[in-house]
Chain A
Amino acid sequence: MAKEMIAMLLAGGQGSRLYALTQKLAKPAVPFGGKYRIIDFPLSNCVNSGIDTVGILTQYQPMVLNEYIGNGQPWDLDRLYGGVHVLPPYQQASGSDWYKGTANAIYQNIPFIERYDPEYVIILSGDQICKQDYSDFLRFHKEKNAEFSVAVMEVPWEEASRFGLMVADGNDKITEFQEKPKNPKSNLASMGIYIFNWDILRKYLIEDEADPNSENDFGNNIIPNLLKDGRNMYAYHFDGYWKDVGTISSLWEANMEVLDPEHSGINLFDENWKIYSRNSGMTGHKISHTGVVENSMITDGCRIDGHVKHSILFAGVKVEEGADVEDAVIMGGSVIKAGAVVKHCIVAENVVIGKNAVVGAMPSGAEKGVATIGSGIQIGDGAKIGPNAMINKNVEGGEEQW
């Protein structure tokens, strides 16, 4: 039976600006918000929107992501017909190819899409934190009788030139596309989420592949080609929470915003739009007699004997007595030893911060750096890590890094 709409999730990005965090895993697998990974958001959105078939296009460091997705059961995407499928590049009779660009990644998986004979295909991005109802987006797409729709966000005019911008008329019909222009004509930024009529997408993917000069990219090639041909293209306005967490500071900021859902707009506590994730299976968290927790989010398996303020702790984090954690994102399994001071920073998974070590610093003046410690790193006793440091090698006791 044909599916009305299936999703293709672009998850091959290296996330090079997250450097220390993406040495061993792809950006969509980066942990977020206490018990999630970034990819939980688009996957949960799919399920909550009624999409039961998702192809995940992986390329860079796929192991963690593959293992995490598994059979898709945590997202209720283990289906007899459809469900979640990880689609890495593969060898074909005619040779093998890495995914050359976003459009090429979809092009190489045309046979996968055709198995489901969909009317529409939604292209999603695996590096955004966003709660969005794709079924409302599809309703818009159908109402406009569109061949292509793109989800857009209004951004402040002064920042507009950082984005790919859609210029649209009063009826939301797209008339022009500007990629990071110097003189923006619009403040409608593309979120990188598209709905295509499958016959149109298929046609343009095949044409694009045949063009030797193409970069095989949606933003640079497919969308301009659609415009050139005067296709029915519409901009769907989204005004909920949306964040591209491509940099250390935006990832840190998005985590901090989780602590303040009343103002930031990212509410993980919504019973009607749950974000699903693979569970740690650990027992509840424990705060001891000496532990103090203020304005923070704590999950299963944490043991808190020290002071935790305005921070997010992932599963199984230990904060020993006398340790001081503030404005920090501490990912799963990390240990903050006695007397350590950990501030305004991101600590990846399974890190050990030695006794009395200092990591990061609260912002002062123009200095707002978010110190970052890569996964599995050991920071020796009494070591000092400055607020702009990005650590992906063990640091000996007493050493300083800035």
Chain B
Amino acid sequence: MVNSNADALGIIFPNSYDSLVPELVSERLMASIPFAGRYRMVDFILSSMVNCGIDNISIIVRENYHSLMDHLGSGREWDLARKNGGLNIFPPFAEKGIKVYTGRVEALASVLPFLREQKEKYVVMADTNIAANFDFKALIEAHVKSSADVTAVYAEEKIPESARKTDVVKDLYYTLNIDNGRVKKIYMNSQKEGIQNYSMNVYVIDRELLIDQIHTAFVRGYAYFERDILAPQLEKLNVRAYKYDRYFARINDMKSYFDENMKLLDDKNLDALFEGNPIYTKIRDDNPTRYINGAKGKNVLVADGCVIEGEVENCILFRGVKIAKGAKVKNCVLMQDTVVEEGARLEYVITDKNVTITVGKELYGTDSFQVYVAKYQTV
């Protein structure tokens, strides 16, 4: 058989870093946070995998995954409704005495029988707090070429203030000490200032090796892949570092959520994120967006299905947003089906899905702190 596909299967952890954006995940999880006008966070990693020929993808969900199930459906929109492989969603087993997983070890232990049955040689693992048009082909090639046991992806960036401040043990973050391409040390929740080798938590690993490691670790009661498997065995396992230097957006907190959306108003960034391979998402069959008499749009990224009669400037509008006559919206991120009624004024506001801002209301946030209006709220 001609194998035009990658010899790897994908595993996605959609709940990682939920704790960083508690408002946005109150009724969803990281993977289904709306991003960039018409997408959800999971679309980026999922589409990237599909575009690189990975067509056997598992999503191991932990909690709040209703919205994700709704979004993904059969996986058809990502071309993942397949007889062989395709999209697998693993919900937690509802068994007495079994609690939902905390780390990747527990999550992967729950799918060990599945992993054993697969045929792909490699496993690619990723979270969904990063939006990137990721080239997994290049990553897998590098992994094979270096004969590493594990390849870990990192980017050179500063650790955001919010991550450093967080005392939530649930979501650890990692920085790497790299010597000549090999990972020498893995630091957890480092407080260091300045540019670090900040892990993107994307890994390639031999499937058989992963099964062995997870089995051993789980029996010993370990929880985390990095802390409990990689970090203690860096002498024994050849863990190679792979630097990612293309465009990506990482969600660390509300502020970065806002900023990363806004950054896409720069054509340079928008092209960098979307050029090359397409990013797929759930189809809504909206009509095109309509600008009616008197509407003004300046420096805006707008999805389909919007009706704009007022003024919008420096905004990201998701699908189906309505801006009535006389309304003025500036520096805002308005999610799906937000309605801004006549004469309302918004500045530095993030509205979640189906929010209504009634006639004449005014809401102002600032550059450093945006007002957030939760799903289905009416102001």
Contacts and interface: CB of A to CB of B under 8 A. Distances in A.
B61 interface: no
Given A295-B293, A298-B302, A300-B304, A284 B37 contact: yes
Nearest to A276: B285
Contact of B288 (A274, A289, A294, A299): A299
Given A269-B287, A299-B288, A35 B293 contact: no
A283 B304 CA distance: 9
A285 B290 contact: no
| Chain B interface size, under 10 / 10 to 19 / 20 to 34 / 35 or more | 20 to 34
Given A283-B274, A286-B270, A298 B289 contact: yes
A317 to B, nearest CB: 11
Interface in B283-313: 283, 285, 287-293, 295-304, 307
A298 B301 contact: no
Contact of A286 (B267, B283, B290, B304): B267
Contacts of B265: 286
A34 B288 contact: yes
A294 B278 CA distance: 29
B239 interface: no
A300 B270 CA distance: 13
Given A281-B280, A285-B302, A293 B285 contact: no
B287 A35 contact: yes
B279 interface: yes
Contacts of B283: 74, 279
Interface in A295-325: 295-300, 303, 312-313
A287 B285 contact: no
Interface in B18-48: 36-39
A68 to B, nearest CB: 15
A287 B278 CA distance: 21
B329 to A, nearest CB: 14
A283 B38 contact: yes
A277 interface: yes
Contact of B298 (A269, A277, A287): A287
B50 to A, nearest CB: 12
A292 B312 CA distance: 12
Contact of B291 (A74, A275, A294): A294
A287 B36 contact: no
Contact of A291 (B38, B278, B297, B317): B297
B121 interface: no
A326 to B, nearest CB: 14
A268 interface: yes
A294 B295 contact: yes
B26 to A, nearest CB: 25
B263 interface: no
A300 B293 CA distance: 21
B76 interface: yes
B299 A299 contact: no
Contacts of A284: 36-38, 301-304, 316-317
A48 B296 CA distance: 35
A164 B303 CA distance: 43
B288 A298 contact: yes
Contact of B290 (A269, A282, A288, A292): A269
Contacts of B301: 283-286
Given A275-B287, A283-B270, A299 B295 contact: no
Interface string B246-280: 00000000000000000001010010001000111
Contacts of B267: 286, 288, 303
Nearest to B300: A287
A339 B166 CA distance: 52
Contacts of A289: 298-299
Nearest to B314: A289
A145 interface: no
Nearest to A304: B297
A349 to B, nearest CB: 16
Contacts of B270: 283, 286
Given A283-B37, A284-B38, A288-B267, A297 B290 contact: yes
A293 B288 contact: no
Contacts of B291: 293-298
A127 B212 CA distance: 62
Contact of A269 (B37, B76, B279, B307): B307
A294 B291 CA distance: 6
A73 interface: yes
A300 B38 CA distance: 10
A322 to B, nearest CB: 16
Contacts of B296: 292
A70 to B, nearest CB: 12
Contacts of A312: 288
Contacts of A33: 287-288
A35 B37 CA distance: 18
Contact of B287 (A34, A279, A293, A294): A34
A35 B304 CA distance: 10
Contacts of A297: 287-291
A286 B312 CA distance: 12
Contacts of A279: 283, 285
Given A295-B292, A297-B290, A281 B285 contact: no
B288 A35 contact: yes
Nearest to A75: B285
Nearest to B319: A284
Contacts of B274: 283
B76 A73 contact: yes
Contacts of B36: 283-284
A394 B42 CA distance: 43
Nearest to A312: B288
A379 B290 CA distance: 28
A364 B336 CA distance: 43
Given A73-B76, A296-B291, A288 B279 contact: no
8 contacts: A34-B288, A268-B288, A284-B36, A286-B302, A293-B297, A295-B295, A298-B291, A299-B304
Interface of B: 36-39, 76, 265, 267, 270, 274, 278-280, 283, 285, 287-293, 295-304, 307, 316-317
Given A284-B38, A288-B299, A299-B289, 11 more contacts: A33-B288, A35-B287, A275-B287, A276-B285, A279-B283, A283-B37, A283-B274, A285-B302, A286-B300, A299-B304, A300-B303
